[in-house]
Amino acid sequence: MAFMIAQRAFIKLYLITMVEQHRGYGYQMLEELRQQFKSHGYAPPQSEIYRALHELVQEGVLYRTKQLKGNDPRVDFQEIVLYHFTADGAEKAKLYKQQVKQDLDRCLGILHKAVNDNYG
């Protein structure tokens, strides 16, 4: 029984949701998460985003396609990696999200309890 949810699982959750909304590639998702969590005092490290993406591919949830970032190859040669659900990826993702939800609720319970027990 672990204490808190792992950062990896937390990031995977967000990545899945982002892929559901067909949003972006690794670096972009990283920047967006950093932006979103900046005010929460949390900046997900770059390595974790890529590791999480690789794991989701490994687990058969996502597959990758490559693409040039700009639409004019004469000016923009930057290659990016896009992620999509595999045939059964959406289903797997759904199950995964359910598990993570359980864990999030568990963690919230623990933290709320701690606030109640130790303050006020």
Partner DNA sequence: TCATGAACATAGTGTTCATTA
Partner DNA sequence: TAATGAACACTATGTTCATGA
Interface with a copy of itself (CB under 8 A): 1-5, 7, 10, 13-14, 16-17, 36-37, 40-44, 97, 100-101, 104-115, 117-119
Exposure string for 59-87, b = 16+ CB within 10 A, e = fewer: eebbeeeeeeeeeeeeeeeeeeebbebbe
Instruction: Choose the binding region for DNA from 19-27, 33-41, 91-99, 110-118 (rule: CB under 7 A).
Output: 19-27
Q: Which of 74, 96, 81 is nearest to 11 (CA)?
A: 96
Quote the CA–CA distance of 49 and 12 in Å, as a whole number.
8
116 binds, among a copy of itself, DNA, none (CB under 5 to 8 A by kind): none
Quote the CA–CA distance of 34 and 80 in Å, as a whole number.
19
Asked if 23 touches DNA (CB under 7 A), the answer is: no
Nearer to a copy of itself, 55 or 80 (CB): 55
Instruction: Give the binding site for DNA (CB under 7 A).
Output: 2-3, 6-8, 25-28, 30-31, 44-48, 50-51, 53-54, 64, 66, 68-69, 73, 77-81
